[in-house]
Amino acid sequence: MATKAAHKRLAREYQNIQKNPPPYIVAHPSESNILEWHYILTGPAKTPYENGQYWGTLIFPPEYPFAPPAIRMHTPSGRFQPSTRLCLSISDFHPKSFNPAWEVSTILIGLLSFMTSEEMTTGSVSASETERRVFAARSRWWNSTGGGSHSNIAPGVHATTKGINNIKAGDGGLKFRTEWPELDQENWKWMKDNRIDVSTGQITPDPNATVATCSPEATALRRRPTGSVPRLGVVMEGGQVAREAGQSWILRHKIWLGLGLIFGYALITRLIADIQG
């Protein structure tokens, strides 16, 4: 439970961030708990995260602003492990370095700045630019479907009870929908307009279209990046991409290698028969 000072401070900061939202950032406290804030970072232009919709939480301690919040990003990004506490100078990993003058907007600006850098820390991961663009393109689908587990829309696909901190993996997008109802509606419209299969995040073909047209975000969904994304945890589609990209050269060329072995065996057998004859 928040102290009176923390409640007053966070209420004032909510008013400030509503009046003057920083670029690419929106945030609000949960209706049931002013210490639990939800944010959306929109990927800045000219970055691998462009137009991505990155949802996360700030969990403030009761003694805020004299102690920093725990920071998590739930949307798979190729930059952070989903729903994992991030070790930053503005997070609860470093309480002694936190400045009580910093506000919610300061914290989120710092998070966005760190996200668009390549600095590594606890909770961050490595990925290629292409992979991060694919995650950005799938971010709206992931947020509103819980990674394809929206059971009311996708028959046979059900929410799981596996919890990841305060967000449930495979919750069908329920938590996101509760905190961001307007954005959730926009996401479903976007998926419908771009023929996104809600269970997989893939584009479904349009049998009536002679020329395929879709938004830049939807176009990125067709890509199959190379490279790997280690330790992504709950990233559902990212795992499949990494497995495909990680196939060895031998597996990808096994047919030609098999034919080569057969041909070589036949040639050697013929040579041996000629010599003996």
Catalytic residues: 87
How, if at all, do strands 167-168 and 163-164 pair? Answer: antiparallel
Amino acid letter at 90? I
Phi, psi of 67 (to 5 degrees): -150, 145
DSSP result, the chain: ---HHHHHHHHHHHHHHHHSPPTTEEEEEETTEEEEEEEEEEPPTTSTTTT-EEEEEEE--TTTTSSPPEEEE-S--SSB-TT-----TTSTT-GGG--TT--HHHHHHHHHHHHTS----TTB----HHHHHHHHHHHHHHHHHTTT--TTTSTT------EETTEETTSTTHHHHHH-HHHHHHHHHHHHHTTB-TTT-PBPP-TT-SS----HHHHHTT----S--TT-TT-HHHHHHHHHHT--HHHHTHHHHHHHHHHHHHHHHHHHHHHH-
List all residues 6 or more positions away from 152 whose beta carbon is below 8 Å from its beta carbon: 172
* Integer angstrom CA distances of residue 242 from 129, 239, 261: 14, 5, 30
